[in-house]
Amino acid sequence: MNDAGCSNGVEPLPLDKAVDYMLEECRTVLPGIQTLFGFQLIVVFSEGFRNAMDAAGRILHMASIVFVAIAIALIMTPAALHRQSGQRSISERYLATCSRLILASMLPLASAIVIETYLVAETLLQHRAPSIACAAGLGLIFAVFWWGLPRVRRWR
């Protein structure tokens, strides 16, 4: 037995604490996503943007902007749900729904970051193969740490 009195080292949380933690996770992640979104929008209006990227690159950048906007919508939905459907009550269903929304936001966010990494690498390196390798490597890192590691920890 550990210090917390639980034989497996896991301590259950009361529902209100679990919801507090979940909303805090949203509040922590959101500024970073919004900052990325702001930079994506600013670069479009810069002088060199049209010259630095071909049409395919601009389309990829637009797709990345859409992915970040989707991630923002998903990560902000728990607060909107809480404000509109039960400011004074919480439920297991609410917690489960919001947890799924947060997890769902990770895929478009990772996709946007991978796309932007590819575009920056392509612009800087002027070679497609290392740019694809860099973006693919980053995608693998996201897959391992955001999806693989949590699953391995759950199986143990």
Q: Is the pLDDT of residue 141 over 70?
A: yes
CA–CA distances in Å: residue 36 to residues 10, 68, 127, 129, 151:
35, 8, 24, 25, 27
Share of the chain above pLDDT 70, in %: 94
**pLDDT at residue 114 in the model:** 97
Domains of the chain, CATH where assigned: 15-155 (1.20.120)
* Packed helices 55-85 and 92-125: angle between N→C axes, nearest 10 degrees: 160
Q: What is the model's pTM?
A: 0.84
Rounded Cα gap, residues 147 and 141, in angstroms: 10
pLDDT tens figures, 79-93: 888 778 766 777 888
CA–CA distances in Å: residue 65 to residues 12, 49, 52, 104:
38, 15, 17, 17
Q: Is the pLDDT of residue 38 over 80?
A: yes
- Residue 88, SS3 per DSSP: coil
